[in-house]
């Protein structure tokens, strides 16, 4: 059986490396300072983490897949995930940082509310995030400052707010690298909107709404072989709106055509896949500012 390091809280990893323990809810490790190197490990994570390295070891795994690594880059991990490299008996000498933190640290903060928006934590994302030199320097400066705060001050609500602020800035730099990578997607993925629109056309042409109801982001993402988060990122990058908003706009365009063909509001609602006409009316008003009845009265000649 493979040996797995169970990182149920951040300092399990620091202690595994004989690195300094600074705070019960967050660990900041500077690998350059570990003169004897480290032993690699396969890790089971109960925490969030960022590994920021000039050069990662080869043959890293992430779930059941291999991680595609590049120089000067970041690998993100989240609770419930497994990744790393089994110990082969040889020490590793790494140049960079690791920061691991618990869910408890973020509790009742803005970061906790928005952590799901950082889709590079997903198992579906199996590339390291390539950093530009200025991004690397900025993140390294933030990590140095974060570590100094942890060393200089006792645990308190004020310290935790400061720590979360540092983390949010670091994650935003990673998010920028993530968006930059998305902008370089293959040519076959650059027509995501065309394929998305065609999928919605097919959904209604085949009358799937009569069985499944309104098309969902999860359904469309699955049909296009993407995770919901990654698919949403592609759509937002192309349109500036969410995938859900795109679907709703598509439905409203169909609704206007059906209403103008002489169908009643109730008939239109059921034809589109709404369970109740008032749900349709609510979406229509939210998207257009007027009710379907007002729309009809404005287009009656």
Question: pLDDT tens across 211-241, in order?
Answer: 999 999 999 999 998 888 888 888 887 777 8
pLDDT for the residue numbered 300:
46
Using only C-alpha atoms, the chain has a radius of gyration, in whole angstroms, of: 24
Pairing between β-strand 61-62 and β-strand 48-53 as defined by DSSP bridges? unpaired
For the chain, how many structural domains are there in total? 2
Same domain, 154 and 258: no
Question: Is residue 201's pLDDT more than 70?
Answer: yes
Taking only the tens place, the pLDDT of each residue in 61-114 is: 765 456 778 889 999 999 888 888 888 888 889 999 999 999 999 999 999 999
Q: What is the mean pLDDT of residues 191-215?
A: 90
Question: Is residue 146's pLDDT more than 50?
Answer: yes
Q: What is the mean pLDDT of residues 243-260?
A: 90
Cα dihedral 209/227/231/212 (nearest 10)? 0
Q: Please, what is the Cα angle at 49 between 45 and 51, to 5 degrees?
A: 115
Q: Are 203 and 245 in contact (CB under 8 A)?
A: no
pLDDT for the residue numbered 63:
57
pLDDT for the residue numbered 221:
93
Q: Is residue 39 within a helix (H) or strand (E), and if so which, with residue range? A: strand 38-39
Q: Which of 182, 201, 222 is the last residue of a domain?
A: 182
pLDDT for the residue numbered 260:
78
Same domain, 102 and 218: no
Per-residue buried b or exposed e for 46-56, using 16+ beta carbons within 10 Å of the residue's own CB: bbbbbbbbeeb
Q: Give the tokens for residue 164.
A: 């979360």
Same domain, 33 and 158: yes
pLDDT for the residue numbered 1:
38
Neighbour tally for 106: CB within 10 Å: 21
Same domain, 106 and 151: yes
Q: Which of 182, 204, 239 is the last residue of a domain?
A: 182
Nearest to 69 by CA among 53, 80, 81: 53
Give pTM, 2 decimals.
Answer: 0.64
Q: What is the mean pLDDT of residues 154-179?
A: 96
Question: Is residue 191's pLDDT more than 80?
Answer: no
Q: How confident is the model at residue 192 (pLDDT cuts 50, 70, 90)?
A: confident
Q: Across all residues in the chain, what is the average pLDDT?
A: 88
Q: Between 190 and 292, where is the model more confident?
A: 292
Order of strands, sheet of 82-84, starting from the edge strand that comes earlier in the sequence:
4-7, 42-45, 82-84, 61-62, 65-66
Q: How confident is the model at residue 185 (pLDDT cuts 50, 70, 90)?
A: low
Q: Containing domain of residue 13, as a range?
A: 4-182
Nearest to 19 by CA among 94, 110, 130, 69: 94
Question: Is residue 188's pLDDT more than 80?
Answer: no
Question: Is residue 54's pLDDT more than 60?
Answer: yes
DSSP 8-class letter at 23: B
CATH number at residue 277: 1.10.10.60
Q: How confident is the model at residue 253 (pLDDT cuts 50, 70, 90)?
A: confident
Same domain, 48 and 157: yes
Q: Which of 182, 210, 229 is the last residue of a domain?
A: 182
Same domain, 12 and 122: yes
Taking only the tens place, the pLDDT of each residue in 1-21 is: 357 899 999 999 999 999 999
């Amino acid at each position: 059986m493979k040996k797995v390091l169970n990182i149920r809280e951040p300092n399990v990893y620091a202690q595994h490396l004989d690195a300094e323990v600074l705070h019960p809810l967050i660990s900041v490790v500077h690998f350059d300072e570990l003169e004897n190197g480290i032993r690699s490990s396969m890790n089971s994570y109960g925490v969030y983490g960022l590994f920021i390295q000039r050069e990662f070891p080869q043959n890293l795994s992430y779930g059941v897949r291999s991680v595609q690594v590049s120089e000067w880059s970041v690998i993100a991990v989240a609770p419930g995930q497994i990744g790393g490299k089994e110990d082969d008996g040889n020490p590793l000498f790494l140049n960079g940082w690791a920061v691991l933190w618990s869910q408890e640290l973020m509790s009742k903060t803005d970061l906790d509310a928005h952590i799901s928006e950082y889709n590079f934590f997903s198992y579906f994302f199996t590339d390291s995030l390539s950093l530009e030199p200025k991004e690397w320097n900025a993140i390294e400066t933030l990590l140095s400052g974060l570590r100094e705060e942890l060393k200089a001050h006792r645990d308190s609500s004020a310290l935790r707010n400061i720590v979360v602020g540092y983390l949010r800035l670091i994650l935003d730099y990673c998010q920028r690298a993530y968006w930059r990578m998305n902008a370089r997607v293959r040519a076959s993925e650059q027509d995501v909107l065309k394929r998305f629109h065609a999928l919605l056309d097919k959904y209604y042409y085949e009358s799937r709404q009569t069985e499944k109801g309104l098309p969902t982001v999860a359904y469309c993402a699955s049909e296009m072989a993407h995770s919901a988060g990654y698919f949403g990122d592609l759509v937002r990058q192309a349109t500036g709106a969410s995938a859900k908003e795109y679907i709703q706009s598509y439905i409203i365009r169909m609704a206007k055509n059906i209403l103008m063909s002489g169908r009643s509001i109730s008939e239109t609602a059921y034809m589109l896949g709404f369970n109740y006409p008032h749900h349709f009316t609510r979406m229509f008003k939210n998207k257009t500012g007027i009710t379907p009845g007002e729309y009809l009265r404005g287009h009656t000649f």
